[in-house]
Amino acid sequence: MSDAIKHECGISLIRLLKPLEYYKEKYGSAFYGVNKMYLMMEKQHNRGQDGAGFASIKLDVPVGARFMSRVRSIEQQPIQDIFDKINHRINSELLEHPEYNDDVALQKANIPYIGELLLGHVRYGTFGRNSMESVHPFLRQNNWMHRNLIVAGNFNMTNVHELFDNLVQLGQHPKDMVDTVTVMEKIGHFLDDAVAKLYKQIKKEGYTKREASTLIADRLKVSKILKRAAKNFDGGYTMAGLLGHGDAFVLRDPGGIRPAYFYQDDEVVVVASERPAIQTVFNVKYDDVKELDPGHALIIKKSGRVAIDQILEPKERLACSFERIYFSRGSDKEIYQERKELGKLLFPQILKSINSDIKHTVFSYIPNTAETSFYGMVKEAQNYLNKNKEEEILSIGPSISREKLHEILKVRPRIEKVAIKDAKLRTFITQDSSRDDLVAHVYDITYGSVKKDDNLVIIDDSIVRGTTLKKSIIRILDRLSPKKIIVVSSAPQIRYPDCYGIDMAKLEDFVAFKAALALHQERNTMHIVDEIYQKSLKQINQPDKNVVNYVKEFYEPFTPQEISVKIGELLTSENIKAEVQIIYQTIENLHIACPKNLGDWYFTGNYPTDGGNRVVNKAFINFYEGNNQRAY
């Protein structure tokens, strides 16, 4: 993506189902779980690079022994930093105590981080906070083993204020009004309540206080706790939790907005935000990795029993399509095919734009995530040419000469790597004039790849703000002297903010919004903007279920093509010699390419939860009033 935006977090949970001695004997190390967690987090580092965290729980440790460990980092390479610390601690203990080397029991008893239950997290800071306090996993401690709770997740709640007020009504005094704190405390409250009730019940049965502890672990119903805690959650989420005595869970939202995949065999249970991470790290087949159903929780009891329970009533499946277009690793079999299909489906628009003149057109892509959709686009161009070649050969018939046949067959799409990203270039000068000149050089070009008066078609996976296109990419592509620069987005126009975990919070940041606003100003329809503001204001105190997304009316007077044309004008500087055209994916083709992920609220404003409508109206109010702040 040419516009860098912060996006989703990633989680990984590993439960070792055998004693640690088993892994030492089979794989040569009792640190098998720690090693696998490092790989799982590295395979998901694309999902979060602002911070990372790791937590582990040891099962069946004696009273007084440390059974929980946690380490977090906000260093420049947080995953590496975490595991450097873990490895340093492990190696120091082994060096100081040589007797630990071949004794798994001593390792477990004396070395932190070695446990049967492990939780990892990689994070993007969507609220601009990047302090250690904001890094998952979060820890809620208690002297009662069952009441210890470790939580990490890929989520954002739209109703943080409501959840905060719920905790206050329960008699709590939350330390912060953020969704991570409110979610953990909500689960923690019902965990405390369940443990207290079980304790009273078991005492009535005549057991001692010490005997009650083991029985509580056996009888605790995690699914019931989650049903009570998640009742009022409004957002997109996949959240994982570890209980101090050894139970664990992963809960997914009812619309399947955020992803969750799992794998289980007789040695291990693994959950992750991305399927390829599990496939690669554990060397398992695509079909062996399952998707956790929306509204369900995968629950692992301390005993090792695994169950998938429905926690909330599943809603219409509206899994995030933007996840497929950009955020997820393209090595996933389905995602790879979907991205190629997105490129393929754009070709008719491209063909129209170049007047079918493929001979004088160069096809390329903006590095690096658009590469897969580029393959789909080029393959469709090849199919188009093959069909034309076939018709031309058949029309000439058996009298065709070898020279003519060769002339027909040699025509193929001209493919070049035109744009190159200088990833290490830093724009450190703050003065606007100097900074713009530096930004213009973030991308470089391959000179000689385009002939004068060629069309240059260059595909990006999405266009959010368009800033890099205007200040860097289009400027430097224009140096190649193409007749026309056609920037193609494999995603539709991004018109609405996200509120479920991706950092796209302000309407005025979107180039599609700026284009529509410019059209309102040109056509003297700014009264529509005023009316939307008034309608949004009237809904501020309405329950979320009654709120309507009036921001849709902002775009209704214009066709997608009209907005695309205006975007092209906004992104073209005065000194650009080439004609610039912007082509976007259609909503219909997006659904064809990503049939299992129909969540398209960024593009359509059709939010999967009631809270989304409140957020988008608040975003419009902020824009109208000039409030430079987030809507959630």
233-255 pLDDT per residue, tens: 999 999 999 999 999 999 999 99
Q: What is the pLDDT of residues 82-135, one digit of tens each?
A: 999 999 999 999 999 999 999 999 999 999 999 999 999 998 765 545 677 788
Q: What is the pLDDT of residues 496-517, one digit of tens each?
A: 999 898 878 899 999 999 999 9
Percent share of the chain, pLDDT over 90: 75
Spatial separation of the C-alpha atoms in residues 23 and 88, rounded to whole Å: 21
Q: What is the mean pLDDT of residues 6-20?
A: 89
Q: What is the mean pLDDT of residues 73-78?
A: 92
Q: Residue 581: pLDDT above 50? A: yes
389 phi and psi angles, rounded to 5 deg: -60, -45
Which residue, 492, 423, 422, 427, is CA-closest to 464? 492
Candidate from 69-73, 120-124, 440-444, 484-488 with smallest mean pLDDT: 440-444
Report residue 421's pLDDT band, with 50, 70 and 90 as the boundaries: confident
Q: What is the pLDDT of residues 218-236, one digit of tens each?
A: 999 999 999 999 998 999 9
pLDDT for 430 equals 42
Q: Are 630 and 383 in contact (CB under 8 A)?
A: no
Q: What is the mean pLDDT of residues 536-541?
A: 94
Candidate from 119-123, 266-270, 285-289, 434-438 with smallest mean pLDDT: 434-438
pLDDT for 163 equals 61
Report residue 427's pLDDT band, with 50, 70 and 90 as the boundaries: very low
Q: Residue 290: pLDDT above 80? A: yes
Q: Which amino acid makes up residue 8?
A: E
Q: What is the mean pLDDT of residues 355-359?
A: 94
CA angle 118, 122, 126 (to 5 degrees): 140
User: Which two tokens mark 580?
Assistant: 């610039």
pLDDT for 331 equals 86
518 Cβ contact partners less than 8 Å away, ≥ 6 residues apart: 566, 570
Q: What is each CA distance from 461 to 156, 321, 343, 366, in whole angstroms?
A: 24, 12, 9, 8
Between the two ends of the chain, the Cα-to-Cα distance in Å is 25
Report residue 67's pLDDT band, with 50, 70 and 90 as the boundaries: very high
Q: Which residues of 487-518 are buried (b: 16+ CB within 10 A; e: fewer)?
A: bbbbbbbbbbbbbbbbbbbbbebbbbbbbbbe
DSSP 314-374: --S---BHHIIIIIS-TTSHHHHHHHHHHHHHHHHHHHHHTTT-GGGEEEEE-TTTTHHHH
**Torsion angle of the four alpha carbons 394, 398, 399, 403, in this order, in degrees rounded to the nearest 10:** 70
Q: What is the mean pLDDT of residues 300-315?
A: 97
Q: Residue 179: pLDDT above 90? A: no
Q: Residue 165: pLDDT above 70? A: no
pLDDT for 435 equals 45
Q: Does the global pTM surpass 0.85?
A: yes
What are 57's strand-pairing partners?
68, 117
Report residue 170's pLDDT band, with 50, 70 and 90 as the boundaries: low
Q: Are 448 and 419 in contact (CB under 8 A)?
A: no
pLDDT for 422 equals 66
Mean pLDDT, the chain, as a whole number? 90
pLDDT for 501 equals 80
Highest mean pLDDT among 169-178, 238-247, 422-431: 238-247
Report residue 453's pLDDT band, with 50, 70 and 90 as the boundaries: confident
Q: What is the mean pLDDT of residues 129-157?
A: 86
138 phi and psi angles, rounded to 5 deg: -95, 150
| CA atoms 582, 588, 590, 592: torsion sign | negative
Q: Residue 431: pLDDT above 50? A: no
Q: Residue 579: pLDDT above 60? A: yes
Q: Residue 432: pLDDT above 60? A: no
HSE, side-chain direction, 13 A CA sphere, residue 574: 0
Candidate from 22-26, 206-210, 361-365 with smallest mean pLDDT: 206-210
pLDDT for 433 equals 47
Q: Residue 438: pLDDT above 70? A: no
